[in-house]
Amino acid sequence: MADPVVQARIAELDASIKEKIGDTISEEEVEPDLVGLFPEVPDDIFLPDHDVEFDPAEPEAAMPEADDYTPEKYDEYLTAEVLLPNMGTVTKAKVVGRKRDADGNPIGRRNVNPILDTREYVVEFPDGATDVYTANIIAENLYSQVDVEGNSYSIMSEITDHKSDGTAVSKDDGYETTRDGVRRPRRTTKGWKLLVSWSDGTSSWVPLKDLKESHPVQVAEYALANKILEEPAFAWWARHVLRKRDRIIKKVKSRYWERTHKFGILLPKSVEEALHFDRESGTDLWKQAIEKEMRNIDCAFDFPVDDKPPVGYQKIDCHMIFDVKMTLERKARHVVGGHQTEPSKDITFASVVSRDSI
């Protein structure tokens, strides 16, 4: 009630009521059937009783408005992973919850401008230690560690281990014969992963196909040192890289873009995984994103009454892809495999925009 905006709205409402129906009513305007149904109200009913001592509450003891707190259920920073300064080093930490005061209320208020955001968070480091950081410190570090698309990157320290699964091509199947009868190495990296230590002190298993593109020289040298250069996943490219390593080093970017995170938020690969992330964090951010997307596209679907597909239908697989906006808002997109069907003969389109359209 002390908010000037609310006071202005109340004044506007009172003025509109007075303009429409007036401020008083005469006895002649009252319906006869209603006369006597309501008791007389004394004029002094709302006056204070001077015989009773009343101790007003202290101004500073007043309860805050509900809007003073941002519910954790809608907190976009929860579960974010970000590199933060800790004990003189920079370590990856995870935002696990809000910092609370002695009464259990979350500290700070949300603001669309991260500089003015006063929320405080508890973050957990890999060793289990926790610390408290403000929202603007988290945001400053988070946005400085990603590109304009929100992809974070890591600097490699070394490759420490490797492994392959049952899908990896064996040496016996390491060669293939082309239509021209030429026998050549099979070009595949399937089934192989490398354990990488990053400069922030973390380690992770990275598919060979990704690491081959970002760090070809380091991967080739590791394969040579660990005597796996003859494996089909390395044989078709690693020796060439070793011969051309000096030229390649000058051109390649020595950093690995993480495709699993956007703006520090772990991206789910399926609806089930998205809902699992919500349960783990105690939020429903991914659930809201999915529901919003399905509401938006609902008008595109026309289900028959008998729930049977029409004659001549073409089946298309559908799935959900997930993304994170720069504001840390979760996004979901329902997509279909358009490549699985033949285009309609009645539909023509141009793959590029025409000059006339421009």
pLDDT of residue 322: 92
CA distances from 39 to 23, 30, 35, 168 (A): 21, 15, 10, 89
pLDDT at residue 46 is higher than 80: no
Q: Do residues 92 and 133 make contact, with C-beta atoms less than 8 angstroms apart?
A: no
Q: Do residues 197 and 157 make contact, with C-beta atoms less than 8 angstroms apart?
A: yes
The winner for highest mean pLDDT among 132-141, 196-205, 295-304, 305-314 is 132-141
pLDDT at residue 105 is higher than 80: yes
Q: Average pLDDT in the 13-21 region?
A: 88
Q: What is the rounded CA–CA span in Å between residue 71 and residue 330?
A: 17
Which distant-in-sequence residues (6+ apart) come within 8 Å of 72 by Cβ?
78, 97, 98, 106, 282, 283
Q: Residue 131: what are its φ and ψ, rounded to 5°? A: -150, 170
pLDDT at residue 173 is higher than 90: no
**53 vs 30 pLDDT, higher one:** 30
Q: Average pLDDT in the 14-37 region?
A: 79
pLDDT at residue 48 is higher than 70: no
Beta bridge partners of 106: 100
Q: 21-35, 45-59, 114-128, 236-250: lowest mean pLDDT where?
A: 45-59
Q: What is the rounded CA–CA span in Å between residue 340 and residue 344?
A: 13
pLDDT at residue 162 is higher than 90: yes
Binned at pLDDT 50, 70 and 90, residue 192 comes out as very high
Q: Do residues 163 and 128 make contact, with C-beta atoms less than 8 angstroms apart?
A: no
Work out the mean pLDDT of the chain and round it to a whole number: 80
Q: Average pLDDT in the 314-324 region?
A: 87
Q: Average pLDDT in the 331-358 region?
A: 68
CB atoms within 10 A of CB 297: 11
Q: Average pLDDT in the 238-261 region?
A: 74
CA distances from 48 to 45, 52, 57 (A): 8, 9, 16
Opening angle at CA 320, ends 319 and 322, nearest 5: 150
Q: What is the rounded CA–CA span in Å between residue 109 and residue 247?
A: 53
Q: Average pLDDT in the 216-230 region?
A: 91
Q: What is the rounded CA–CA span in Å between residue 245 and residue 257?
A: 21
pLDDT of residue 274: 92
Which distant-in-sequence residues (6+ apart) come within 8 Å of 258 by Cβ?
151, 152, 153, 154
CA distances from 69 to 17, 75, 271, 287 (A): 34, 11, 30, 22
Helices 285-297 and 271-281, packing angle to 10 deg = 140
Q: Average pLDDT in the 222-240 region?
A: 91
Q: Do residues 297 and 112 make contact, with C-beta atoms less than 8 angstroms apart?
A: no
Binned at pLDDT 50, 70 and 90, residue 222 comes out as very high
pLDDT at residue 6 is higher than 70: yes
Q: Average pLDDT in the 196-209 region?
A: 82
Question: Which amino acid is it at 23?
Answer: D
Report field, pTM of the whole predicted structure over 0.75: no
Q: Residue 272: what are its φ and ψ, rounded to 5°? A: -60, -45
CA distances from 180 to 142, 176, 320 (A): 53, 11, 42
Which residue intervals of the chain are DSSP H helices? 4-21, 135-144, 208-214, 216-225, 232-235, 238-243, 245-251, 271-281, 285-297
Q: Average pLDDT in the 87-102 region?
A: 84
CA dihedral (140, 146, 148, 150) positive or negative: negative
pLDDT of residue 61: 47
pLDDT at residue 101 is higher than 60: yes
Binned at pLDDT 50, 70 and 90, residue 41 comes out as low
Q: Average pLDDT in the 2-30 region?
A: 84
The two structure tokens encoding residue 328: 């840390």
Q: Residue with structure tokens 């002390």?
A: 2
Binned at pLDDT 50, 70 and 90, residue 256 comes out as low
**259 vs 270 pLDDT, higher one:** 270
pLDDT of residue 331: 92
**70 vs 93 pLDDT, higher one:** 93
Which distant-in-sequence residues (6+ apart) come within 8 Å of 135 by Cβ?
77, 108, 110, 114, 117, 118, 119, 120, 121
Binned at pLDDT 50, 70 and 90, residue 32 comes out as confident
Question: Which amino acid is it at 217?
Answer: V
Q: Average pLDDT in the 265-284 region?
A: 89
